[in-house]
Amino acid sequence: MKNVDRWFILIGLLYGIFGFSFGIWVGINERFEQAHLHAHVNLIGYASMLLFGLLYRAFPALAESRLAAAHFILFNIGAVIFLCGIPLAQAHQTVALAAGGSMTVLAGLLVFLANYLMNGFSAGARAKA
């Protein structure tokens, strides 16, 4: 996938802006029952996406693999579904979205692991200086 590193970084930064803003809203409005959603937005959306982007930037062989696109699609779709599902699960409406989204995020992470194991140790995988 072309520019997978840049896409992960961009999306991570957007999640960061949303997650930090949401956290401020949670604090100002004393809606601390939403603190776990704020934390998940920042961890899954901001920290994980940004880290993936930096790893793809540092190890170009990973970004050149077809697994990079599968990772990007699975992780991003799973993150949206999971994060939308958390409030529904908390409201005791359904856990299906949170469960399905979290499993999709996990599948994306497993694809990244496979990519790393297959391409992270090759001669072309050396980190950029």
Mean pLDDT taken over the chain: 93
SS3 call for 31: coil
Picking from 115, 93, 105, the residue whose alpha carbon sits closest to that of residue 15 is 105
Cα–Cα distance for residue pair 82/68, rounded to 1 Å: 21
CB 79 within 8 A of CB 105: yes
* CA dihedral over 14, 18, 20, 21, signed as positive or negative: positive
Element (H, E) at 100: helix 96-119
What local confidence, expressed as pLDDT, does residue 125 receive? Answer: 61
pLDDT surpasses 90 at 17: yes
Provide the pLDDT for residue 43: 95
For the chain, how many residues are written? 129
Q: Band of the pLDDT at 48, cuts 50, 70, 90?
A: very high
Give 56-110 pLDDT, tens digit per residue: 999 999 999 999 999 999 999 999 999 999 999 999 999 999 999 999 999 999 9
CB 41 within 8 A of CB 18: yes
For residue 122, name the pLDDT band (cuts at 50, 70, 90).
Answer: confident
Structure tokens at 24: 């401020």
- The pTM assigned to this predicted structure is 0.89
